[in-house]
Structure 1
Amino acid sequence: MAVRQRAVATLPNLLKSLRKEFPKTSPNQQLPSLRRAFSLYDQINLIDNVPEDQLRFQGLTSFVIRFSSYTDTGFTVNGVHYEGSLLCVGNLLMSWTPRKFSEITPNSLSIFQLLRPIPEILVLGCGRHIEPVDSELRRFILSTGMKLEAVDSRNASSTYNILNEEGRIVAAALLPYGVSS
């Protein structure tokens, strides 16, 4: 019983010291972001507030991943449909010449020898199916300082959205979804 009385007696002092150590925040002060503490699916739901000037793939097809859209022949980015392959670097969008996976060569990705800052990662959208990346192409990409993630184009556009929304320097080289080996 004496222990309980001492604990109850020290509680007000404990609360006072905690209030001094952690003062109240003003109503206008923003709380720190907790995005990295959420699961991947929670992050996708947080993309609703992506700034207007950031590229994002948007859903318009029957097989939709939220904020990602593709057709067998192209992609929809910020409400505009683009036919063919795309190369995205940060918030820069370009047409890209390869029409099938075998046409992706170090030469087709040579822009990364000139580009600064170098993206952290290149997300390679292989079309409908994940394709093995040959050792010469893999060595070239790694020599630029980028990491490589080769996935189907549906997942590549979604991964690009998430990484770009997080503010990371990311690039995507995307073949249309209808492309298969």
Structure 2
Amino acid sequence: MRLNEIVFNDAKPVEGYGPGFFRIGGQVIEGAVITAPSGTRTWGGLDDVAALEALVPETDVIFIGTGAEIAHLPAGLREQLEQMGAGIETMASPAAARTYNILLSEGRRVALAMLPV
């Protein structure tokens, strides 16, 4: 089997997570987080709609991790983002991180917003 090193261009991969934190591109962030080609930063959670809206122009899909378990997004939030043309995928944060890393390694335009586990 041949193994190739994955090159992540501008965006940083999720390297790990634990109770209340994420490690992204070597940086540990406590609490909810957003990471995208424009950078990694803390996130105010599902009420921080403006931060999610800012991701729409730079991405094709926004993965939203809802913590340890999958949960539905508030209907109004999903509707608002979809009206802006955002592709939204909701899943538990561990699954969202894995999916984000895979698509990021393929060079896709993706962003990730996660609530801690």
TM-score clears 0.5: yes
Q: Indicate whether 1:85 and 2:32 are aligned.
A: yes
Q: TM-score, normalised by structure 2?
A: 0.84
More helix as a share of residues:
1
Structure 1 gap segments, 5+ residues each:
1-44, 59-68, 99-103
**2:13 aligned counterpart, secondary structure:** coil
**Deviation readout 1:97-133 (Å, 9 max, x if unpaired):** 22xxxxx13xx12135455734111100000000012
**In angstroms, what is the RMSD of aligned CA positions?**
2.3
Q: TM-score, normalised by structure 1?
A: 0.57
For the 8 Å contact 1:127–1:175, the answer to whether it is kept is yes
More strand as a share of residues:
2
Aligned residues: 116
1:89-128 mapped onto 2 (5 Å cutoff): 89-98=36-45, 104-105=46-47, 108-114=48-54, 117-128=57-68
Query: Using CA pairs below 8 Å that are at least 6 residues apart, which structure has the higher relative contact order?
Result: 2
Structure 1 residue ranges (4+ consecutive) displaced by more than 2 angstroms after TM superposition: 45-49, 51-54, 111-118
For the 8 Å contact 2:56–2:86, the answer to whether it is kept is no
In structure 2, the CA distance between the partners of 1:174 and 1:114, relative to structure 1 (3 Å rule), is closer
Larger radius of gyration: 1
Give the C-alpha shift of residue 53 in structure 1.
4.5
1:154 to 75, 78, 94: 94
